[in-house]
Amino acid sequence: METFTFNTTEIILLTGLSALCVIQLIYYFGLYNRIHRRNIACKKGEVHFSNELLPLSVIICARNESENLRRYLPSILEQDYPNFEVIVINDGSTDESTEVLSAFEEKYPHLYHSFTPESARYISRKKLALTLGIKASKHDWLVFTEANCQPESDQWLRLMARNFTPHTEIVLGYNGYERGKGWKHRYISFDSLFNSLRYLGLALAGNPYMGIGRNLAYRKELFFAKKGYSTHLNLQRGEDDLFVNQIANTNNTRVETDANSVVRMRAIERHKDWKEEKISYLATSSYFRGMQRYLLGFETVSRLLFYATFLTTMVFSLLHPHYLVMGIALFLFLIRYMVQAIVVNKTATDMRDNRHYYLTLPLFDLLQPLKSLQLRLYRLYRGKGDFMRR
pLDDT of residue 5: 77
Which tens digit of pLDDT belongs to each residue from 300-352?
A: 999 999 999 999 999 999 988 888 999 999 999 999 999 999 999 999 999 99
List of domains in the chain: 7-32+293-387 (no CATH), 48-289 (3.90.550.10)
pLDDT of residue 182: 85
Average pLDDT value for residue range 214-218: 97
Cβ pair 230, 116 in contact under 8 A: no
pLDDT of residue 207: 96
Q: Report how far residue 115's alpha carbon sits from residue 131's, in angstroms, rounded to the nearest whole number.
A: 11
Which tens digit of pLDDT belongs to each residue from 121-141?
A: 556 788 889 999 999 999 999
User: Pick from 66, 112, 67, 62: which is nearest to 92 by CA?
Assistant: 62
3-state secondary structure of 388: strand
pLDDT of residue 383: 61
pLDDT of residue 390: 42
pLDDT of residue 120: 58
Q: Report how far residue 336's alpha carbon sits from residue 211's, in angstroms, rounded to the nearest whole number.
A: 28
Residue 92 has pLDDT above 90, yes or no: no
Q: Report how far residue 306's alpha carbon sits from residue 364's, in angstroms, rounded to the nearest whole number.
A: 15
Q: Report how far residue 172's alpha carbon sits from residue 196's, in angstroms, rounded to the nearest whole number.
A: 10
pLDDT of residue 121: 59
**What are 294-303's contacts with CB under 8 Å, separation 24+?**
295/202, 296/198, 296/202, 299/23, 299/24, 299/27, 299/31, 300/369, 300/372, 302/20, 302/23, 302/24, 302/27, 303/24, 303/365, 303/366, 303/369
- Confidence at 204, pLDDT banded by 50, 70, 90: very high
Q: Report how far residue 283's alpha carbon sits from residue 382's, in angstroms, rounded to the nearest whole number.
A: 11
pLDDT of residue 201: 98
pLDDT of residue 27: 98
pLDDT of residue 282: 82
Which DSSP string corresponds to 62-73?
ESS-HHHHHHHH
User: Pick from 262, 247, 171: which is nearest to 216 by CA?
Assistant: 171
pLDDT of residue 382: 65
Cβ pair 201, 238 in contact under 8 A: no
Q: Report how far residue 150's alpha carbon sits from residue 156's, in angstroms, rounded to the nearest whole number.
A: 10
pLDDT of residue 3: 63
pLDDT of residue 373: 85
- Confidence at 119, pLDDT banded by 50, 70, 90: low
Give the least confident one: 66-80, 90-104, 153-167, 247-261: 90-104
